[in-house]
Amino acid sequence: MAYNPRAADVAALAKGFEAVVCIQGLGFVGSAMAVAVAEATNDEGQSRYLVVGVERDLPIGRLRAESMMRGDLPFASEDDRLTSGLRAALNRGNLITTCDDGVYQYADVAIVDVNLDLDFDNSPVTADLMHFTRAVQTLADVMPEGSLLLVETTVPPGTTTELVLPIVREALRRRGLDDHAIAVAHSYERVMPGLRHLESIVDYWRVYAGVDDRSSEMCRAFLETVINTDQFPLARLATPTASETAKVLENSFRAVTIALMDEWGRFGERLGIDMFEVIDAIRMRPTHANMREPGLGVGGYCLTKDPLFPQVSMNTFFRDQNVDFPMTDLALVVNRQMPRTTMRVLEDVLEGELQGRKILILGASYRPDVGDTRHSPSETLAHLLVQLGAHVTVHDPLATHWELPEADIVAELPEARHFDAVVLAVAHSAYVGLDLRIWLGDGRIWVVDANHVLTGKQRAQINELPDVRLFSIGRGYE
C-alpha cells in the first residue's frame, strides 16, 4: 500500500483481524512497539492485530511514517530482529503507518508513545504537557466505545488519573457516552535501544495498572498477547499512579547509583586500583549484581530527566511543597558534571594545555550500538573541550544528528596519527573489535578510555606500542 493510508483504508483492512491497535508516536519506543504488536499471533499462528502507527502531520512525522512504510526504521539500529520484524509485518500487511488522526476512530487499543519533555529553563523545572495533552485529547474525541487507551509514555506520577482520565471522561460526556466507555491504563516501557531493542519489549517484565478493575483487566489481556508473559510475568499495581512511580523510581535508582560511582572511580585512579576488577568481585554477591561502574557520564532521554518527574508531580498535580528529593537532585548534578572528569584527565595527560590540541572522540551517542545522541555525555565533553580551545573531531558509525557545530562529526574513522589524544566514549561494536596495534600504529598519542570500552586484549595491544600512553577512567594510568 502507498504511504499515508487514510481512515477508510483502515476500515477495509481491519476486517481480517481480531482488533486494530494504533500506536501514537513512532520514535524509539513507538516504532518498536508497533513491530512487537504486529508480531502477535493467535493459537493458529495468524496475526491478531492490524497495527497502525500514527505520527503528527509535520515534516518529522511524515518522514518517520514514510520511512517505516518503506521498511526502514526512522533511526539507525543494529537490531536485525527489529528491522526484519518491520519488513515481515509490511509483507504480511498487518502494519501500516499514517499521519491521519482519523484512524483512531477504529482503534480497539490506542497506545500513547509521545514524548513528554521537561522545560529545564524554568525553576523549578516544569513539564511541557501541551503536546501530550493534545495527543490524549485527539484519542478521547474519537476512540470507540469499549476501547482501551494505554499510556506507555513516562510521565509525572498522577498524570493518568489527574490529567488523562478527566480529558477522556469530559470527551465522553460531550459525545453522549458513559464515563467508562473507554478504558484507561498505564504500563510503562523498558525499551533498551541497541542490539536487543525489540527483545526489550517482548521478552521483558512489565508493570501495569488501570483506573479501575475493568481497565486493568483489558490492559492485562492485551499485554499477554504481545509479551512473553510465561517467562516474564506481568506485575499489576493498585493504581496508575503507582505504575508511573515505579518507572521514575527505577530510573532514579540507576541515576543515583551511577553518581555514586563517579567519586569511587576517582578514588581508584588515585590509589592505582582497577575499580572494574573490584566491582566484578562485589557483583558476585547477588544483592549487588547490578552495581554500576565509573564512566564518561549519563545520557539519553530517560535517566537525565525521569528523576525530576516526582518533584514535577508534587508541583503540578498535588501542590505539596513539603516533599523534596535532595539525594536525587544531587545525583543529577553529579551526573551532569561527570564529563568534566574526563576533561580534567585530558588536561593532565596533555600537560595542562588543551588550546590548539587535536582530540578525537570515538562515540557520539549515549549508549552502545545506537545512533541516539540526546543528552549525550560525549556532546558535553566536546563542548567543554571546544571552550578550552581544543580542535575536536567526533566519530560515530551510527549517529546522524549532532547539536554541536563547533565539533565535526564524521562517519569514517580518521587516522589516529593526526591527533594528540583519542577518547573512547561509547562501547560501539566497531570500537570493541578494532585492532589498535594497526590503527594507532607508531604515532605519539594518548588514549583515554572514558567508558570501560577497551577489552583486556586491546589494553595489552596499547601497552605494546612504545609511543602510545593509556589512561582509563576507573583505573588510572596503565
Residue 398 contacts residue 78 (beta carbons within 8 Å): yes
pLDDT digits (tens, 9 = 90+) for 379-393: 999 999 999 999 999
CA atoms of 76 and 69, how far apart (whole Å): 16
CA atoms of 433 and 429, how far apart (whole Å): 6
Give pLDDT, residue 4: 67
Give pLDDT, residue 2: 47
Give pLDDT, residue 169: 98
- How much is the mean pLDDT over the chain? 93
pLDDT above 90: residue 374: no
Query: pTM of the predicted model, to two decimals?
Result: 0.91
Give pLDDT, residue 401: 72
Lowest mean pLDDT among 2-11, 173-182, 351-360: 2-11
pLDDT digits (tens, 9 = 90+) for 409-466: 888 999 999 999 999 999 999 999 899 999 998 889 999 999 999 999 999 999 999 9
Cell numbers representing residue 409 in the block = 562529526
Of 108-112, 319-323, 442-446, highest mean pLDDT: 108-112
pLDDT digits (tens, 9 = 90+) for 143-168: 999 999 999 999 999 999 999 999 99
Q: Which residues pair with 112 in a beta bridge?
A: 24, 151
Confidence of residue 44 (pLDDT cuts 50, 70, 90): very high
Give pLDDT, residue 3: 59
pLDDT digits (tens, 9 = 90+) for 188-238: 999 988 889 999 999 999 999 999 999 999 999 999 999 999 999 999 999
Does 47 or 405 have the greater pLDDT score?
47
Does 273 or 374 have the greater pLDDT score?
273
pLDDT above 90: residue 142: yes
